[in-house]
């Protein structure tokens, strides 16, 4: 098995790359999706969040009110740390379960938006960074996601710099290109990852 950490700045196109890798045969473990799943109604995760932050973080139907919780934790680093202390171990445990269920020669891609920021590169056999220029990121966030330019710039500034991401990359996928070229590059990267996964299976 080969474990791959996939990351990239907001608007770089990481979701598209992860989708293409799944089409090639990768097993995808999506940290963002798991972070939502572990606080669904009825989970121990949601109970712990309510115990820590109070019932006002719930909607009328008992779900987590994400905007409300976000406004609380992003204004207070201690509260953000408290939320992370609840969610991160649950995501980690679920991630390990999914990884253990994968085949011996699988390429397991962990889609981790904050891989660079949280110093997680050593956890993976290979780190793949999806790279795009800040101008491209800004254009995609404003044009495709409907963000204001101010909001988009603030989100980009809150993440690690492009240079910091590239420092930890074993493989870089340039996404300042037309879709056809991106697809070709992802297929090349997939062949390399599949080869490494095969080699890791043969190594005692």
pLDDT of 127-181, one tens digit each? Answer: 999 999 999 999 999 999 998 999 899 889 889 999 999 999 999 999 999 999 9
Give the pLDDT band (50/70/90) at residue 73. confident
CATH topology agreement for domains 1-26+106-204 and 34-104: yes
In this prediction, residue 24 carries a pLDDT of: 97
- In whole numbers, what is the pLDDT of the chain averaged over residues? 93
In this prediction, residue 203 carries a pLDDT of: 55
Whose CA is closest to 14, among 106, 116, 129? 129
Rounded to two decimals, the pTM is 0.83
Backbone angles phi and psi of 77, in degrees to 5:
-55, -35
**Two tokens at 48?**
């712990």
Fold type of domain 34-104? Rossmann fold (3.40.50)
Task: List the alpha helices (DSSP H) in the chain.
Answer: 14-24, 31-37, 44-53, 66-73, 77-101, 134-143, 149-157, 162-167, 179-202
What are all long-range contacts of 64-73, with beta carbons under 8 Å and residues at least 24 apart?
A: 64/39
Distance CA 126, CA 115 (A): 12
Give the start-to-end residue ranges of the domains of the chain: 1-26+106-204, 34-104
Share of the chain above pLDDT 90, in %: 78
What are the tens digits of pLDDT across the range 12-32?
999 999 999 999 999 999 988
Whose CA is closest to 112, among 49, 191, 165, 187? 165
> What architecture is domain 1-26+106-204?
3-Layer(aba) Sandwich (3.40)
Distance CA 174, CA 182 (A): 7
- Evaluate if residue 204 carries a pLDDT over 60: no
The answer to whether 80 and 28 are in contact (CB under 8 A) is no
Distance CA 146, CA 121 (A): 31
Give the pLDDT band (50/70/90) at residue 82. very high
């Amino acid at each position: 098995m080969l474990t791959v950490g996939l990351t990239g700045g907001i608007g770089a196109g990481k979701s598209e790359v992860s989708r293409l890798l799944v089409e090639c045969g990768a097993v995808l473990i999506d940290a963002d999706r798991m972070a939502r799943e572990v606080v669904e109604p009825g989970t121990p995760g949601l109970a712990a969040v309510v115990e820590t932050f109070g019932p006002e973080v719930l909607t009328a139907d008992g779900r987590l009110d994400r905007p409300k919780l976000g406004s609380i934790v992003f204004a207070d680093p201690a509260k953000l740390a408290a939320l992370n202390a609840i969610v991160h171990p649950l995501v980690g445990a679920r991630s390990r379960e999914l990884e253990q269920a994968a085949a011996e020669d699988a390429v397991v891609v962990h889609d981790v938006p904050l891989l660079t920021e949280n110093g997680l590169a050593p956890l993976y056999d290979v780190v793949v960074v999806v790279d795009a220029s800040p101008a491209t990121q800004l254009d995609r966030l404003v044009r495709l996601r409907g963000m204001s330019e101010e909001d988009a710039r603030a989100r980009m500034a809150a993440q690690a710099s492009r240079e910091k991401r590239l420092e930890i990359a074993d493989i870089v996928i340039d996404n300042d290109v037309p879709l056809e070229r991106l697809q070709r590059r992802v297929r090349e990267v997939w062949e390399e990852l599949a080869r490494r996964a095969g080699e890791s299976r043969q190594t005692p």
